[in-house]
Amino acid sequence: MLQAPQRTGLSGPTLIRLLTRLTDADVQESRQSLSDHLSQWLGWTDAIALSAALNTSPPVIAPGARMFSSAEERECARVRTTLADAIASDTAATAAKRLTPGQAPVKKPAALADADYSNFRQRYLSLQHTMETSIGNLRSRLRGMVAARNGEMTRLAVVDAIMDRALLPKERALLGAIPKLLQGHFDRLRLAEEAALAKAQAGAEAPAGSEAPVEETPAAAAPAGAWLDTFRKDMRSILLAELDVRLQPVEGLLAALRAS
C-alpha cells in the first residue's frame, strides 16, 4: 500500500495538517501569535486604516438596506455545496484499466504512462479561482448586511473590508503554493508504484526453480495505477480543507448576523 510520509502532528487547520502529512515540507509549529503574524502582513497604509476603523465612531448607514434572513443562510449553504461538488467531480477522473492483484504486470497502462501533473495543477488552479470568486462575492454580500446594522456591526464590516483587501495578496501567495507542494506528492506516489511493479515483474520473470519471495509485499499486490487514485483522493481532501479555510470569514459574518 502506498503511504504518505509520516510527520509529527501539528495543531491548527486541517489544511496545514494534511499538507504536512502529504509533502516533504518539514514544518515546525510557529511560536508567534496570530497578531504577530498579522502585524508583519499588513502594510502601513492598511495599519492606519485599521486603526482608524477601530478608534473612531463607525459611519452611519442609511436605512432601507436589505436585512439578513434565512435566504442568506440557504445561499451560504448552497455556495459551499456547489463548490464541494465541483471539487468532487473535477478530481474524480475516469480510472484507467488496471491489472487485478496477482496478474503479471507485463506492461504499464498507457493512461498511467501519460499521467501528467500539469493537468492536475491546472485543475487545482481553476478550482482555486472558482472558490475565490464565489466566496468573495458571498462575503461582500454578507458584509453589506452587517454594515446595515449600524453601530458596532458597521465597524465590524469596515474592519472586515480592510482585512480582506490587505490580506488577499498574502492569501493568494500562500494558497497558490499548494499545487507545487502537491507535485512532490504526485511524483513520490508514481515512483513508489513503478518500483513495486518492477520488483513484481522481476519476480514473475525469475527462472523456474529459483527461490520464490518469502512474502509478497503489499505494494506489489496492489492494482497497477492505484497511486493515481490515491493522489486524486489526497488532492480532493486538500481542496476541501482549503474550502473550509476560505469560508471562515463568511462563517464569522454569518455568526455576527445571527447574534444581532
Tens-of-pLDDT digits for all 260 residues of the chain? 445 444 445 556 899 889 988 886 665 666 767 677 777 777 878 888 878 888 877 666 555 555 666 788 899 999 999 999 999 998 775 343 444 455 554 455 544 545 789 999 999 999 999 999 999 999 999 999 998 887 888 999 999 999 999 989 999 999 999 999 999 999 999 998 888 877 877 776 666 555 555 444 444 455 667 899 999 999 999 999 999 999 999 999 999 998 87
- Decide: 112 and 96 in contact? Cβ < 8 Å: yes
pTM, rounded to two decimals: 0.77
